[in-house]
Amino acid sequence: MEHIAGNPNAPVFGIAAEVSSAAELYHAAEKVRDAGYRRWDVYSPFPIHGMDQAMGLRKSWLSALVFLGGVAGLTTAVILQFYPSSFEYPLIVAGKPVNFFTVPAFFPIMFELTVLISAFTATFGMIILNGLPRWHHPIFSWDRFKKVTNDGFFLAIEATDPRFDKESTRELLEGIGARHITLIHDDA
Amino acid sequence: MSEGTAVMDASSAAAKRIERAPLVTNNRTMSWISDRVASCTERRAPTWWWITFTLTSSLAVVSLLCIAYLISTGVGVWGLNHPIGWAWDITNFVFWIGIGHAGTLISAILYLARQKWRTSINRAAEAMTLFAVVCAGIFPMIHVGRIWMVWFLAPVPTSMGIWQNFRSPLLWDVFAVSTYFTVSILFWYTGLVPDLATLRDRATTKIRKFFYGIGALGWRGGNRQWKHYEMAYLILAGLSTPLVLSVHSVVSFDFATSVIPGWHTTIFPPYFVAGAIFGGFAMVLTIMLPARAIFGLHDLITDDHVDKMCKIILLTGSMVGYAYAMEFFIAWYGGNLFEQYAFINRATGPYWWAYWSMIFCNVVSPQLFWFRRMRRHVLPVFIVCMFVNAGMWFERFVIIVTSLHRDFLPSSWNMFYPTWVDIWTFTGTFGIFLTLFLLFIRWLPMICIFEVKAVLPEADPHYHGHHKATIEGGGH
């Protein structure tokens, strides 16, 4: 009862299996974490509360990127407004100064550009950190995996993990109570 | 709560009231949610859709033709005059942009406040935001007259020696509105990615698989992806919250930084923001109630959702009412004769009918929502929302036109009469708005599928069977 997905002659991507609920996936993740695996993931139709701890993952560092994006936006706004409005095109309106004291009038656009560049960084940073966009992934060659965006809960341990071993990894997944344990090959 | 469960079995009415109502009724499963929401985009377009689409897109074309006429002829085709240089154009701009704000409030502020009931309405509300901002953006763009010179608004260094006045609220507005539109698109798209993956995995035709596949970016739903995803979503919510408050504050600065009596008041930013949320929630209900009825989404958008939105309308409507009263108080208390005249003229002058329509629609009609019965019946809710939609348009008209039509010099006093171009351009924007919304419900999931699944009791990793669900069912 060997389940195989992908091209059997291609290198092995990993072993994947299905569990029946978010709670089961959570406990399965704790066990895989405790077994010392590093290159593996759990897949679910929605983010599961507390799964990062169950997998032993640290906080996403996207926030640090967004901070840099915000600083870039603020700097852009300061330079864009202050330098030309004070030195290149000193436009005097209603007798208001064009020197440093005019800065409060620049605050709204400083705020807007900070938000704008931060938001771009948040969206595109998330996409890049997730390794997206990509056309294909070996796990998509497993037909059952289509359920992941509906009501399926899966986990996959990748062959690049130093502890990966076809037999012992399979036994671990069986011990957890996972079903449809499948050996996944790359496609090409 | 733990002792409450024992009592609940004995069907004590008091304990039932303490237990929170489920966010998804009738114990629907995850695949039911996927099916129900995705099938709206998969079935053939029903007849009503084609009929409505034909009507709204024709109306949209009318608006575009009026705009073409305006641009080719000049702003003289509108009823503008001296001293009323702003009338329906800016009224419509503020009206539409305000409507957009409810979408951001639902998607960002309620997210930060952990209001889980937002999950079934945020997608459509965000779409509404985008389409409302599209309609809003048209008016400032075309009211400049010579539209081929709008690039003067962009800070492009040129040899012509032109540089923007960055101390002008009108330029702040350009940045605020365009930032708002861009960030709303990013937020909306980020929220769509996992749902596009759902549509991709359900796709039966090559074309659907291709386009939803592109949109889903190769999303796999791995927790290593969700981790960054949730952080991105949280940050976007955190950014959008001050952004939405800033946008309508900046819109109000267009008026408040001038010296026109009736505009020059410090109450404007918070008053405008409250009004925007008020009018926006009314518009959300105006389009969600028919959509819910047509697509049979009553288990996802429950009466509790409608009830909660009505409470927000009541709250913000009362805040707006307070602001109307406070404007009068300050006009009297400030002792400025011009300011006093502007307000007395508003209520009793030639535009008294607009003022009192506004008061009736925005302050009086939402008071019905004090009664639970009124909040839970579709008909009164819909009627009040239509009043609020109209009232919020009148509010902007009253603020703009009644403040302008009495200039400092009585010889300049005038009245504003809209031309047919004014009327059809504005009416046509409803066509643009509804056409975009109809396309949205045909092509994209109008309810956030993955977030609704996440509020089901079995989405909790500590859920083990039914008994526990009664304890934790309402979320924490």
**CATH, residue B315:** 1.20.1630.10
- The mean pLDDT of B232-256, rounded to a whole number, is 93
Candidate from A14-23, A90-99, B238-247 with smallest mean pLDDT: A90-99
pLDDT one-digit tens code per residue, A122-156: 999 999 999 989 888 999 989 899 999 999 999 99
Residue pair B98/B282 in contact (Cβ under 8 Å)? The answer is no
Query: For residue B249, is pLDDT > 70?
Result: yes
pLDDT at B167: 87
CA atoms within 13 A on the CB side of B476: 9
What band does B301 get if pLDDT is binned at 50, 70 and 90?
Answer: confident
Who among B197, B235, B253 is closest to A149 (CB)?
A: B197
pLDDT at B471: 38
Alpha-carbon distance of B41 to A186, in angstroms, equals 33
- The mean pLDDT of B330-346, rounded to a whole number, is 92
Calculate ∠ Cα A49-A55-A58, nearest 5°. 85
What residues of chain B lie within 8 A of the CB of A43, using their CB? 220-223
Query: For residue B5, is pLDDT > 50?
Result: no
What residues of chain A lie within 8 A of the CB of B31, using their CB? 150-151
- The mean pLDDT of B183-200, rounded to a whole number, is 94
| Angle formed by the axes of helices B268-295 and B420-443, nearest 10° | 50
pLDDT at B16: 53
pLDDT at B13: 54
Query: For residue B475, is pLDDT > 70?
Result: no
Best of A41, A48, A149 to disrupt the B interface (most B CBs within 10 Å) is A149
Is B449 a domain residue? yes
All residues at 6 or more sequence positions from B149 whose CB lies less than 8 Å from its CB, including other chains: none
pLDDT at B14: 53
pLDDT one-digit tens code per residue, B352-365: 999 999 999 999 99
| DSSP at A67 | H
pLDDT at A97: 80
Q: Taking the alpha carbons of A123, B251, B320, B280 in that order, is the dihedral positive or negative?
A: negative
pLDDT at B215: 94
| Interchain proximity B167–A146, CB inside 8 Å | no
| Interchain proximity B218–A115, CB inside 8 Å | no
All residues at 6 or more sequence positions from B322 whose CB lies less than 8 Å from its CB, including other chains: none
| Average pLDDT across chain B, whole number | 88
- The mean pLDDT of B290-312, rounded to a whole number, is 89
Question: What string of DSSP letters covers A120-185?
Answer: HHHHHHHHHHTT---S--GGGGSGGGGGGGTT-EEEEEETTSTT--HHHHHHHHHHHT-EEEEEEE
Kindly list the distances between the CA atom of residue B338 and the CA atoms of B262, B330, B341, B407, in Å, as whole numbers in the listed order: 9, 12, 5, 10
Best CA proximity match to B137, nearest among B468, B435, B432, B406: B432
Alpha-carbon distance of B476 to B457, in angstroms, equals 11
pLDDT at B104: 87
Residue pair B472/B463 in contact (Cβ under 8 Å)? The answer is yes
Residues 5-64 of B with CB under 8 A from A: 29-31, 34
Where are the domains positioned within chain A? 3-57+136-185, 62-129
**Could you give the percent of chain A with pLDDT greater than 90?**
58
Specify the DSSP element, H or E, that contains A43. strand A40-43
Query: For residue B8, is pLDDT > 60?
Result: no
Number of domains in chain B: 1
Who among B176, B224, B454 is closest to A41 (CB)?
A: B224
pLDDT one-digit tens code per residue, A26-38: 999 999 999 999 9
Q: Which amino acid is at B470?
A: T
Instruction: Please give, rounded to a whole number of angstroms, the shortest distance from the CA of A109 to a CA of chain B.
Output: 6
All residues at 6 or more sequence positions from B201 whose CB lies less than 8 Å from its CB, including other chains: A146, A147, A148, A149, A150
Query: For residue B333, is pLDDT > 80?
Result: yes
- The mean pLDDT of A63-67, rounded to a whole number, is 95
Query: For residue B22, is pLDDT > 80?
Result: no
**What is the four-CA torsion angle of B184, B185, B189, B192, rounded to 10 degrees?**
60
| Interchain proximity B454–A47, CB inside 8 Å | yes
- The mean pLDDT of B420-438, rounded to a whole number, is 95
pTM: 0.90
pLDDT one-digit tens code per residue, A87-110: 888 888 878 788 778 888 899 999
User: Taking CA atoms, what residue in B is nearest to A132?
Assistant: B217
- The mean pLDDT of B272-282, rounded to a whole number, is 91
Query: For residue B472, is pLDDT > 50?
Result: no
Instruction: Please give, rounded to a whole number of angstroms, the shortest distance from the CA of A8 to a CA of chain B.
Output: 22
Alpha-carbon distance of B73 to A129, in angstroms, equals 51
Alpha-carbon distance of B439 to B442, in angstroms, equals 5
Query: For residue A58, is pLDDT > 70?
Result: yes
Candidate from B38-47, B248-257, B361-370 with smallest mean pLDDT: B38-47
Query: For residue B476, is pLDDT > 60?
Result: no
pLDDT at B17: 54
What order do you get walking across the sheet with A40-43 strand by strand? A3-5, A179-185, A12-19, A153-158, A40-43
Alpha-carbon distance of B7 to B297, in angstroms, equals 32
pLDDT one-digit tens code per residue, B104-131: 888 888 888 888 888 888 898 999 999 9
User: Taking CA atoms, what residue in A is nearest to B452?
Assistant: A46
Q: Taking the alpha carbons of B426, B153, B241, A58 in that order, is the dihedral positive or negative?
A: positive
Residue pair A77/A109 in contact (Cβ under 8 Å)? The answer is yes
| Interchain proximity B227–A44, CB inside 8 Å | no
Specify the DSSP element, H or E, that contains A3. strand A3-5
pLDDT at B18: 58
pLDDT at B465: 62
Query: For residue B468, is pLDDT > 60?
Result: no
Q: Which domain range does residue B352 map to? A: 24-455
Alpha-carbon distance of B232 to B453, in angstroms, equals 20
| Interchain proximity A45–B450, CB inside 8 Å | yes
| DSSP at A100 | G
Alpha-carbon distance of B408 to B446, in angstroms, equals 51
Is B460 a domain residue? no
Alpha-carbon distance of B360 to B363, in angstroms, equals 6
Between A and B, how many residue pairs show a Cβ–Cβ distance under 8 A? 208
The interface predicted TM-score (ipTM) is 0.94
